[in-house]
Amino acid sequence: ETGVTQSPTHLIKTRGQQVTLRCSSQSGHNTVSWYQQALGQGPQFIFQYYREEENGRGNFPPRFSGLQFPNYSSELNVNALELDDSALYLCASSLAWGGDEQFFGPGTRLTVL
């Protein structure tokens, strides 16, 4: 069974640029959630995708957007990057939405200069 993978591992961008982060969910999982984790903080929920549709969203502006593909892999896109977007971005997959254990990937460390 393959676990959750994310790419890239690290990324450096400048203010105003756009970034795409990728996540492959664990085999058999149809739900993917994305989180932003700043240093010293808990993960902040960005949004969740269930069977290719957005299924819930946290308090993030519209410049944070996502996609889920038929194979349940997912992308997180961030437009017009700001310095405060520097964080660890975590993807988690689960068997279903609502109350299931989430399996996290190792994360992508994004630095915005």
Partner 1 sequence: RKEVEQDPGPFNVPEGATVAFNCTYSNSASQSFFWYRQDCRKEPKLLMSVYSSGNEDGRFTAQLNRASQYISLLIRDSKLSDSATYLCVVDYDKIIFGKGTRLHILP
Q: How far is the CB of 8 from partner 1 (least distance, A)?
A: 16
Q: How far is CA 36 from CA 21, 56, 59, 71, 112, in A?
A: 12, 15, 11, 23, 14
Q: How far is the CB of 9 from partner 1 (least distance, A)?
A: 12
Of 24, 2, 35, give the one whose Cα is nearest residue 69: 24
x-marked contacts with partner 1 along 10-49 as a string, rule CB under 8 A: -----------------------x-x----xxxxxx--x-
Residue 5 binds partner 1 (CB under 8 A): no
Q: Is the peptide bond before 8 cis (omega within 30 degrees of 0)?
A: yes
Site residues (vs partner 1, CB under 8 A): 33, 35, 40-45, 48, 56-58, 90, 98-99, 101-102, 104-107
